[in-house]
Amino acid sequence: MKRRYLNIEIGPYLRDTQKLSAMQSGAYLHLLMHYAVHGELPHEDDAAMRMIARLDQQQWRRTKPVLAKFFDAHWHNPRADRDRMKQERIAVLRALAGQAGGRSSGMSRRARSRLGDN
């Protein structure tokens, strides 16, 4: 499983969530973490969504409309999408750099072995 990170800028998070209760803020964080790891939320399955949010049925019913404001109609979060794309781009660049380093190292070893420098 790939490592996923949730990049939370504290100032904007606090500004955007200042009207949320502690329960609502916690539920939002759990939804964001799931979204960061899986790239989506099971938005058509209320039972799964409330389990991810760690809420009972009554809490979910009351909290869902509040949390929906932080997502689009399909429960995508644009900021989390940008962060995920950035993470994937960095992973690809690191993989390419690792491959290039490995090729370079291998060429150096082969050149030394030809020259008898072992």
Q: Is the overall model pTM greater than 0.85, yes or no?
A: no
- Measured CA to CA, the distance from residue 106 to residue 118 in angstroms comes to 13
Per-residue model confidence as pLDDT tens for the chain (118 residues)? 566 677 888 998 999 999 999 999 999 999 999 998 888 999 999 999 999 999 999 999 999 999 999 999 999 998 888 887 777 777 688 888 888 776 666 666 666 777 766 5
Summarised one tens digit per residue, pLDDT across range 28-46 is 999 999 998 888 999 999 9
Distances, alpha carbon 28 to alpha carbons 20, 23, 33, in Å: 9, 9, 9
